[in-house]
Homo-oligomer: A and B are copies of this chain.
Amino acid sequence: MKLGNMSVPGDCERISPILSRVGDKWTVLVILILSEEPKRYNQIRREVENISQRMLTVTLRGLERDGLVMRRVFAEKNPPWVEYSLTELGHTLVEPLLALCKWASTNYLLIEENARNAEATCN
């Protein structure tokens, strides 16, 4: 099977784990929030409501590990703080992610309605 210049399976077997990584519950939100400007730990935490410290840390570590996010410690400041920002690679991901967000934003009402109707039809 071919999609554009990709084949499924083949390329998509490698792509799939990356999409899972990127498409998890928090990663997208963190990337989009960092797409504006560098931010500090607790600042991100406040903007991504309901994220636990643990999940924020895990998410950021994963993004750092993959080279999508940079972590910088300002030890000389007072209080010393940590700043997270997108790398160049991270920035290239923003556009396709925004496209998906826009789709979701446009269609979530429709999807919720479809799901409700499907429930109702189940009897």
Q: Which A residues have a C-beta under 8 Å from some C-beta of B?
A: 1, 3-4, 6, 8-9, 11-16, 18-20, 22-26, 28-29, 32-33, 35-36, 47-49, 64-68, 89, 92-93, 95-105, 107-108, 110-111, 114-115, 118
Copies in the complex: 2
Least CB distance from A106 to B in Å reads 8
User: Do B65 and A35 touch across chains, with their CB atoms under 8 A apart?
Assistant: no
A105 and B110 CA atoms in complex are apart in Å by: 30
A92 and B106 CA atoms in complex are apart in Å by: 11
User: Do A18 and B65 touch across chains, with their CB atoms under 8 A apart?
Assistant: no
User: Do A65 and B15 touch across chains, with their CB atoms under 8 A apart?
Assistant: no
A33 and B36 CA atoms in complex are apart in Å by: 34
